[in-house]
Amino acid sequence: MATTLTSPITIPYPGVPGDLELRIQAGACRLKLIPADHDAWVTGSYVDPSGGITVSSQTEGNRVTVRVGRSPADFFELINGVPELTLEVGKARPFALVIEAGASENHVELGGLPI
């Protein structure tokens, strides 16, 4: 039996000057993105009922990438339920937003975000 994996997500604004980019790469999952008023750039959580599909974040300069497992093998894990990625995005600084979504259900609210 699978063990549900819950991962908190907290990503501060990069401390370097320049244009910011938030890249979300979501494979098989439910993605919810909403604006938020907080000090961090991105906060949220990832809940995976299978415990087998991972989430990661990577910062390279002014680009932050949040990635939910995108390998073809991840589709076999969906038998235990669909993972949910919830991201609350700060409005303090303007940024470029890139969403690369595969087999996912997306609820994206962009109102108030400085993109």
Chain segment 89-108, per-residue pLDDT in tens: 999 999 999 999 877 889 99
Predicted confidence band at 33 (pLDDT cuts at 50, 70, 90)?
Answer: very high
Task: Find the distance separating the first CA and the last CA of the chain, reported in whole Å.
Answer: 42
Q: What is the pLDDT of residue 44?
A: 97
Given a cut of 70, is residue 77 above it in pLDDT?
no
Question: Side chain identity at 42, as an amino acid letter?
Answer: V
Predicted confidence band at 17 (pLDDT cuts at 50, 70, 90)?
Answer: confident
Q: What is the pLDDT of residue 72?
A: 53
- The side-by-side arrangement of strands in the sheet containing 84-90 is 5-11, 42-48, 84-90, 29-36, 104-108
Question: Side chain identity at 67, as an amino acid letter?
Answer: R
